[in-house]
Amino acid sequence: MERPAVGELVPPERTLMGPGPSEVHPRVRRAMSTPLVGHLDPSFLDLMNDVQELLRYTFRTDNEWTIPISGTGSAAMEAAIANLTEPGDTVVVPTNGYFGGRMASMVRRAGGDVVEVDAPWGAPLDPDDVRTVFSNHDPDLLGFVHAETSTGTLQTNVPELTEIAHANDALVIADAVTSLGGVEFRVDDWGIDAAYSATQKCLSAPPGASPLTLSDRAMAKVTNRDARVRSWYLDLSELADYWGEERSYHHTAPITNIYALREALRLVAEEGIEERWERHERVAGALRAGVEAMGLDIASESWLPSLNAVRLPEGVDDTAVIDHLLDEYGVEVASGLGDFAGEILRIGCMGYSARPENVLFVLSGLGDALENDGVDADAGLAAAREQL
C-alpha cells in the first residue's frame, strides 16, 4: 500500500456566525497549546478544582456536582437524561424544536416513557400547557430547552416551569447548550435540578468537554437508583471516583479540552457573567436591528440573542445565500431545520464571535447576497451601527 500523500493542515479563515462552533478566543487557543500533564498529576487535580469553581460561577449554582463531561454537548445531555431517567419513569419533553426531539430519543433509550408538551416551532412553552400535561400524566421529570438553537427561541418563565414540576415531585432538566455564558441562566435561583451545556457556543472553546450540574436532590436520585445506568461511560456514580473527593481513575480526561475550558471560564469570570449577558444582548441586538432595518424578520416569538433566526424573503434559496456568505466573505451561517427548513438563516452571536466587527461584517455580506431581493443593506448597517 502506498503512503498517503496528505498535505499540512491549513484550515480556511472563517468568521463563525453560525449555530456553533463560535470562534475560539486566542487565549483559549494558547491554553490548548501548553504541554500535557497526566490526568492524575497533582497540578491537574488542582486545575479540576478551578474548573469546577468557575463552572459553578457560570451556572450560578452552589451545586457540588458541577463537572465537565468528556464529549460534546450531547454527551452532557445524555449524562443528565440517562442518569435521571429510571426505566418506567415518565418524562415530559418539548416539541418546539429539534433538540426536544433529541431529548425524547435519549429518554426512550434510557427506558423512560415520553410525554410531549407542544408549542409551535419558534414559540416557547406555555406554563399552562405544562400544567395540563402534569395533571394528566404525573411525570417524574420535566425536560426543556432554555435556548433552542434550531429556532432561535428563548424559553421564558423558567421559574414557573420548575415550580409546576416541583409541586408534582418531579425533577427538572434544562438544556443550556446555547445559553450558558451568553444569556441569563440561573440554576439555583430558578430551581433547576440538572442543567447541561457545551463549550463551542457562548463559552467559545472547542467542543469536547461539556458542562453539567446536578443539585443534591438530583444526585440523590442518581445514587438511589434501582437499576444501574445503562451507559458505563456516563454513569455519574462511577464518574464520582474521578470528579469526587477520591480523584481516582475512571477514564482519561480530555486534558487539552479541560485546559481550554478553564481558560474560557476564566474569561467569563474576568468579564463578569452579568456583563457578558449584557454584551450578548447588545451586540446581537445590533444584529437584530440591522436585519430588521433591511426589511427582514426574526422568525422566533421569543428572541434568543445567541441565535438569530432570520426569515428570508419569499422565493430566496437559503443555500445560495449561505454559499455566497461562505465563498465571498468566509462567513459561516446555517440553514433552518425541521419546520423552519428552507425558510430561515440561523445567525449565531456567541462568545468571542459576539463582537461588533463580526456583526457589521455579516450584515454587509447578507446585504450583498440579498441585493436583488429588495433588501436595503445600507439601512441595515446604519441601524446596527447606531445600536453599537
Ligand X SMILES: Cc1ncc(COP(=O)(O)O)c(C=O)c1O
Q: Which amino acid is at 116?
A: E
CB of 73 to ligand X, least distance (A): 3
**Sign of the dihedral defined by the CA atoms of residues 10, 12, 15, 20, in that order:** negative
CB of 102 to ligand X, least distance (A): 6
SS3 117: strand
Residue 37 · residue 363 · CB < 8 Å? no
Q: Which is nearer to ligand X, 336 or 380 (CB)?
A: 336
Q: Which is nearer to ligand X, 73 or 181 (CB)?
A: 73
CB of 315 to ligand X, least distance (A): 29
Question: Around 212, how many Cα atoms within 13 Å sit in the side-chain half-sphere?
Answer: 31
What DSSP string describes 14-50?
-EE-SSS--PPPHHHHHHHTSPP--TTSHHHHHHHHH
Beta-sheet strands, E only, within the chain:
15-16, 65-71, 90-94, 113-117, 141-145, 147-148, 153-154, 171-175, 194-196, 208-214, 297-298, 307-311, 331-332, 334-335, 344-348
CB of 77 to ligand X, least distance (A): 5
| Residue 16 grid coordinates | 463563525
Residue nearest to ligand X (CB): 73
Query: How far are the Cα atoms of 33, 55, 243, 306, 325 from residue 257, in angstroms, in the given order?
Result: 11, 14, 16, 22, 30
Q: Which is nearer to ligand X, 101 or 356 (CB)?
A: 101
Q: Which is nearer to ligand X, 178 or 335 (CB)?
A: 178
What is the rounded CA–CA span in Å between residue 350 and residue 22? 6
Residue 230 · residue 111 · CB < 8 Å? yes
Q: Angle between the 158-167 and 127-137 helix axes, to the nearest 10 degrees?
A: 10
CB of 117 to ligand X, least distance (A): 17
CB of 264 to ligand X, least distance (A): 14
| Residue 182 grid coordinates | 451568553
Q: Which amino acid is at 230?
A: R
The label of the residue with cell 499540512 reads: 8
Which residues here bind ligand X, judged by CB under 6 A? 19-20, 72-74, 77, 99, 145, 149, 175, 177-178, 198, 207
